[in-house]
Amino acid sequence: MGMLNYIKAAFGARPRGMFVAPNWVFLGGVALGGLLNPGIWLLGAGLELLYLLGLASNRRFQRYVDGRQMLSAQQQWQQKRSSLLAQLTSDDRDEYLLLEQRCRSIIEQQRKTGGAGEADLAAQQEGLARMAWIYMRMLLTREAIRRVLKEAGAERSELDSRINRIQRQLKDEQIGVELRRSLEGQLEILQKRVENQQAARENLDFIESELSRIREQVELIKEQAVLSSDPSMLSTRIDEVGASLSGTTQWMRDKQAVFGRLDALMDEPPGAAMQTE
């Protein structure tokens, strides 16, 4: 967080139990006093500057502001997470929660052994939270694809029938130019719809494969957490897995126009989004 944000926080900072920031009371007094003696305004401005810079530079105050910002980000994230979980089917929700629990168990395992420092644990927790978030994105994307295919499946035979009928009509050399043009336009549209449905099936296969890959990666990391004595190596491994999934994330961004808006899924989770018990 930058110094400007600390200064903003210092401007309105108030001790617990106070309804008005002491700085505001001071500024109000300076403003009134300056009406009697304008020199008070100059003195007040100097004192205000010293106060803001002094408090904003205080490491304890900075940690307090950082913690408050992190807590706010976590609360907002948990609200978003709960909203998106509610959009999953019950089976998908259970699947996600199981993966999330497996990720938590990796951190808990290392806390028990005491081999990892807080910096390593924080890095691992952030990487695993991002991995779980990608998993949720993919579950929601998979459900969107399934809806598309479900609607398409009900009319696939009708599409094939209409394509065959139009193709037979186009073989008739006696039809007029305008009718032929119209039929060719219809045929192009219908064939494009069939192609889109086939692409959706291929996308679904890709999603299923990526979901399996993430599950296997989490299991591998969990095994390495038990066997490895080097926490930094485990952190590196988690980072490598996250980097390997960046292409999948971009793929889902590209598919927003096809399977609906997924804007809520594009944000990254805060660093401590995945809390351990």
pLDDT digits (tens, 9 = 90+) for 156-207: 778 888 899 999 999 988 889 999 999 999 999 999 988 888 888 898 999 9
Quickly tell me which residue has 């043009």 as its tokens.
181
Q: What is the pLDDT of residues 250-270, one digit of tens each?
A: 787 776 655 554 544 545 555
Q: Are 241 and 220 in contact (CB under 8 A)?
A: no
Q: What is the pLDDT of residues 35-62, one digit of tens each?
A: 888 888 888 888 888 888 888 888 888 8
Q: Are 12 and 71 in contact (CB under 8 A)?
A: no
- Same domain as 160, residue 99: yes
Q: Are 166 and 183 in contact (CB under 8 A)?
A: yes
- Same domain as 139, residue 259: yes
Residue 228 CB-density burial (10 A; 0-12 exposed, 13-18 middle, 19+ buried):
middle
Q: What is the pLDDT of residues 83-138, one digit of tens each?
A: 888 888 999 999 999 999 999 888 888 777 766 677 778 888 888 888 888 899 88
- Same domain as 237, residue 137: yes
Of residues 121, 130, 11, the one with CA closest to residue 65? 11
pLDDT of amino acid 210: 92
**Which of 41, 58, 82 delimits the end of a domain?**
82
Q: How far is CA 66 from CA 73, 99, 135, 201, 247, in A?
A: 10, 29, 28, 46, 32
- Same domain as 6, residue 102: no
Q: Are 259 and 144 in contact (CB under 8 A)?
A: yes
Q: Does pLDDT of 272 surpass 50? A: no
- Same domain as 172, residue 158: yes
Q: Would you say the pTM of this structure is higher than 0.75? A: no
**Which of 41, 62, 82 delimits the end of a domain?**
82
**Which of 60, 82, 104 delimits the end of a domain?**
82
- Same domain as 101, residue 69: no
- Same domain as 131, residue 71: no
Q: Does pLDDT of 77 surpass 90? A: no
CA–CA separation, 95 vs 139, rounded Å? Answer: 9
Helices (H), ranges, 114-176? 118-170
Q: Does pLDDT of 67 surpass 80? A: no
pLDDT of amino acid 269: 57
Write out the two tokens for 124.
């691992």
Q: How many domains does the chain have?
A: 2
Show the domain range for 202.
Answer: 88-277
- Same domain as 94, residue 64: no
Write out the two tokens for 207.
């999603």
- Same domain as 267, residue 148: yes
- Same domain as 98, residue 78: no
Q: Are 6 and 68 in contact (CB under 8 A)?
A: no
pLDDT of amino acid 97: 93
CA-derived radius of gyration, the chain: 29
CA–CA separation, 29 vs 41, rounded Å? Answer: 10
Q: Does pLDDT of 7 surpass 60? A: yes
- Same domain as 153, residue 61: no
- Same domain as 150, residue 240: yes
